[in-house]
């Protein structure tokens, strides 16, 4: 680990060692007062490989063990959507803030339950809508707000979609058993939405 004597303000744990977890790790490691203290995945080998690549000290195959031993401030959930509700509940009950890859949950009822639990625990549960504050989005909002001929904006909905001919898109559309194909809204439920 780089500069192990340094004190960090936020301890972060990541659940899930797939493709999107690596993107989370790279961005979190750019934040000077955060440290990823552990990775958790049911599959030991991918978690160990990712931890070695990014110099993360601990890996777990049990979320309960990780939460108990690490006491993270924030948990990033980067697993398939069907597990989000269960994992987020455990993290919130362990007194950790939660950042969940989209979609937040599979149903509105599950989402309401997580929000209620987070409020009760005085914690934050946040869906991964990273495009909301991108440079391009902020500039577009500023221009629309300042454009008098546009009129008064009361709602905006923008969608970022995957290139279905790209590596991720091909993986999803070629496999009817892919977890995204099992979402009620299929691939359209797994989009960044800005409202």
152 pLDDT higher than 80 = no
Residue 31 in this model has a pLDDT that exceeds 70:
yes
Whether the link from the prior residue into 36 is cis, omega within 30° of 0, is: no
- Please provide the DSSP assignment of 35-67 as one string: EEEEEE-SSHHHHHHHHHHTT--EEES-HHHHH
Least confident among 1-15, 112-126, 166-180 = 1-15
How much is the CA Rg of the chain, to the nearest whole Å? 18
* Domains and their CATH numbers in the chain: 10-128 (3.40.50.720), 131-194 (no CATH)
Q: What is the pLDDT of residues 120-148, one digit of tens each?
A: 999 999 988 665 566 666 777 677 666 65
Q: In this predicted structure, what is the pLDDT of residue 128?
A: 82
First to last CA, the chain: 39
* The predicted structure's pLDDT at residue 139: 75
Summarised one tens digit per residue, pLDDT across range 82-125 is 899 999 999 999 999 999 998 888 888 999 999 999 999 999 99
pTM over 0.85: no
Residue 189: partners with Cβ closer than 8 Å, 6 or more residues away: 81, 103, 180, 183
Evaluate if residue 195 carries a pLDDT over 90: no
The whole-angstrom separation of Cα 72 and Cα 37 is 8
Cβ atoms of 137 and 194 closer than 8 Å: yes
36 forms beta bridges with 12
CA atoms within 13 A on the CB side of 3: 8
The rounded distance, in Å, linking the Cα atoms of 23 and 193 is: 19
Name the residue with tokens 């590596």. 167
Helix (H, G, I), strand (E, B) or coil at 159: strand
Runs of H (alpha helix) within the chain? 19-28, 44-53, 63-70, 84-93, 108-121, 135-146, 167-173
- Is 59 a residue whose pLDDT tops 80? yes
pLDDT computed for residue 191 by the predictor: 55
Residue 76 to residue 47: CA distance in whole angstroms:
14
Q: Distance between CA atoms of 133 and 135, rounded to whole angstroms?
A: 6
């Amino acid at each position: 680990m780089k500069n192990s004597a340094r004190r960090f303000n936020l301890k972060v744990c990541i659940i899930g060692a797939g493709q999107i977890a690596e993107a989370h790790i790279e961005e979190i490691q750019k934040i000077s007062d955060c440290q990823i203290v552990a990775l958790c995945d049911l599959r030991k080998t991918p978690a160990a490989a990712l931890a070695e690549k990014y110099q993360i000290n601990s890996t777990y195959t049990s979320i309960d063990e990780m939460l108990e031993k690490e006491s993270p401030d924030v948990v990033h959930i980067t697993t398939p959507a069907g597990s989000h509700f269960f994992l987020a509940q455990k993290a919130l009950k362990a007194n950790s803030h939660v950042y969940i890859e989209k979609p937040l949950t599979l149903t509105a009822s599950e989402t309401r339950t997580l929000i209620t639990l987070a409020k009760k625990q005085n914690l934050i549960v946040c869906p991964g809508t990273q495009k909301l504050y991108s440079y391009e989005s902020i500039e577009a909002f500023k221009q629309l707000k300042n454009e008098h001929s546009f009129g008064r904006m009361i709602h905006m909905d923008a969608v970022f979609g995957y290139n279905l001919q790209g590596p991720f898109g091909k993986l999803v559309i070629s496999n009817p058993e892919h977890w995204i194909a099992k979402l009620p809204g299929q691939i359209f439920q797994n989009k960044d939405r800005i409202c």
